[in-house]
Structure 1
């Protein structure tokens, strides 16, 4: 191997051969000339050197392959017919070699038949030059190859930048994902108590967001010695904004700080009483519109339940209709709907009453249940919910709610797109002393 231009380091003996540069500082393109004719190699090398290329030479394809294992030429000019390995075979092996960049391969041949050209292209050649090689035509073919190599380099650089950007995005996503996992734990902690027995009655809660965090919230709190408040909330939208809104609302309906619970009113004797459900919804509506300054709104179901008499007073503000599963297995839906909270100024709400008999259950569920969609079928709706409640009536407490969620997953092929939350109150009869 030798060069017809300035002396270069032997690529076989020194793998660290630096990339040659021109007087302007730009990297020179390397061209490997492969021909068994020494004279032909010298002619081509002289033409290429004058055009500003660094030239490497090989007298056989085998020698050329050895060079290519040490240095990656940008261009290869290879004779087709050579002793030993032919140019076609060399092109096959050249294409199979691992490279950082693309190598432009030009076959030198006297063959002009279409079948010969097709064979060369199938072997991986990019272009052809007829022998004897015309200098102007050679420069034109190399210029065309330069455009390909320049585009390939630009594409690699863009891919590198894209890979770097994707890596940064993945790192950011992983960080956000970790934060959301923690946020999910915090949101679940808002429901501090999932089950409580009052002796003759019990309350069970379920909260299952469709993503890491959601906009649903359920809970209960004592109003006084014989009454409890039950509530379900569904904030518009999904994700972090909705989750933050639920956290804010959880503070307004706190079961641990009655002085901060806006559903409670302190009497002149220092005892707490419950605000009328319709008044509570109206108060929350004003609070959201005037103080929170947010575009979010929410649906609400709130029930004031007497643990001794079984009397229930409730308000439905855009939430799905509450259901009463009677002891005989029948299902009744209550309420007339009502406007969501935080949507329209001055919205009016209505308090609805009912009475639970021993064995009756009050079910307050979110629209993630009634609006669940089985494949190729309409939403479950109230009719489907009633069927589920009847089917599960032999179960009680958390087992009832877990089974309800599993049934929803089964019916929708585990494709629940909305948060699922519910409150289940089970009344077994009057109790004289409530703790």
Structure 2
């Protein structure tokens, strides 16, 4: 019982012998193939230029153009799919067969042609064509998928660019002047958006608060958390600011830095119940006296840049916020004198690796700050980024980099 080929196939039979063409055509049509005949290679080449054939069966020896020459020119024609080419020949020498293969032929059949062998060779060719057609379709599917993914990526990229603009509004002014205290700030996100946050606000006429926050992770989730934390540390919305505690009688008291850390820890674990956590330094400065109280929650140690050039490390480490219930935080007191500065920085500075993977560390950061101590605060922060670039060998840092410097200039 005859079985139709795996895919519908159009076959071009090229032979100057009419009897040979008719014999081949009769067998091929009986097996279910669509067949077109041609008596010369020139005529066949014209047909191939205007029509698509899956298989070409061509005699080797023909007047005018030989089978190998026809095959070579057939291969040069522009076409979407592959054309399987079978040469019919009485030649059997290896050099002649090699010449036919170099011309582009896929297979050979020796005259007189055996019907069973012809059918088997065609089935092998059709299997190759079927696989090639499947591969082309899969490539089209991949191309369509890549095009869709590119569209999604472009849309996401536009959204992230807008998100970056919105996040930058959380720190509208990189320089703030409170009279006796001046604050310079810097944030350098490692991606479109980041999880670092620095800021300051006036608590009351005599005190200013500064903070540095680093939310775990990267990307949109971290950026959304920094936006939320910025709302809880906003001088423009004192009713929501965690620096204040509303008593049951309606009176408002100011939380100590340690109390603020504990309140944030409760918020993260009990109210928000998110997988994220963050490190933080929060400090309150008395404008009249330079007295500083601060709490540190897993953040790099604050540095005090004394007026005489000395650099001192402050803080007691502490646990990150949002990891352990009932975590305890300590308030540390220190004294700023006129001309002294307080520097807060994220671990994007201290953990910045060099090309060999060695982190800068807090000692390395301290050495860089000591060398740059003669600069004004805004220039110091900018130069700190340049030094990190030299240390890392690139300006594409693996983590967000942020810093804040408070100048005490009564």
Q: TM-score, normalised by structure 1?
A: 0.88
Partner SS for 2:265: helix
Is residue 2:10 matched to residue 1:43? no
Contact 2:184/2:377 (8 A) holds in 1: yes
Does residue 427 (structure 1) correspond to residue 408 (structure 2)? The answer is yes
Mapping of residues 148-159 of structure 1, within 5 Å: 148-159=128-139
Aligned equivalent of 2:108: 128
Equivalent of 1:218, from 194, 198, 201?
198
1:138 is aligned to 2:106: no
Q: Which residue in the other structure is 1:416 paired with?
A: 397
- Greater mean alpha carbon deviation, residues 51-60 or residues 258-267: 258-267
Report the counterpart of residue 116 of structure 1 in structure 2.
96
Q: Structure 1 pair 93/410, CA: closer, same or farther in 2 (3 Å)?
A: farther
Deviation at 1:272, TM superposition (A): 6.5
Q: Pick closer, same or farther for the CA change 1:136–1:306 going to 2, 3 Å.
A: same
Provide the rounded CA distance (Å) in 1 between the counterparts of 2:244 and 2:199. 15
Q: Is this contact kept in 2: 1:215–1:246, CA < 8 A?
A: yes
Q: Is residue 2:68 matched to residue 1:68? A: no
**Residue number among 346, 350, 361 corresponding to 2:326 in the alignment:** 346
Q: Distance in 2 between matches of 1:45 and 1:295?
A: 73
Give 3-state SS (helix, strand or coil) of 1:260's partner. coil
Indicate whether 1:290 and 2:270 are aligned.
Answer: yes
Post-superposition CA distance 1:382-420 (Å, at most 9, x none)? 122112212322322322212211221232122311011
Looking at structure 1, the residues matched to 402 and 244 of structure 2 have their Cα atoms a distance apart, in angstroms, of 24
User: TM-score scaled by structure 2?
Assistant: 0.94
Report what 1:337 is aligned to: 317
- Structure 1 residues 348 and 60, CA gap change in structure 2 (3 angstroms): same
Q: How many residues align?
A: 405
CA distance in 2, matches of 1:203, 1:272: 26
Aligned-pair CA distance for 1:129: 0.7
Q: Kindly report the root-mean-square deviation, in angstroms, between the aligned alpha carbons of the 2 structures.
A: 2.1
4+ runs deviating over 4 angstroms: 265-273
**2:365 corresponds to:** 385
Instruction: Provide the residue aligned with 2:86 in structure 1.
Output: 106
SS for the counterpart of 2:405 is strand
2:7 touches 2:126 (CA, 8 Å); kept in 1? no
Matched-pair contact (CA < 8 Å) for 2:207–2:284: yes
Does structure 2 conserve the Cα–Cα contact (< 8 Å) formed by 1:81 and 1:109?
yes
> What secondary structure does 2:171 align onto?
coil
Contact 1:205 1:423 in 2 (8 A): yes
Provide structure 2 residue ranges, at least 5 long, that are not aligned to the other structure.
none
Please list, as runs of the form range in 1=range in 2, the aligned pairs for 1:102-251 lying within 5 A after superposition: 102-251=82-231
Counterpart check, 1:307 vs 2:287: yes
Q: Tell me how far apart the structure 2 counterparts of residues 269 and 401 of structure 1 sit (CA, whole Å).
A: 44
2:340 to 355, 360, 378: 360
Give the deviation of 1:123 after TM superposition: 2.4
CA–CA distance in structure 2, aligned partners of residues 213 and 380 of structure 1: 23
Cα 1:389/1:259, change in 2 over 3 Å:
same
Q: State the 1:269 CA deviation.
A: 12
The 1:116/1:70 distance shift into structure 2, 3 A limit, reads: same
In structure 1, stretches of 5+ residues that fail to align are 1-23, 431-435
d(CA) in 1 for partners of 2:225, 2:12: 68
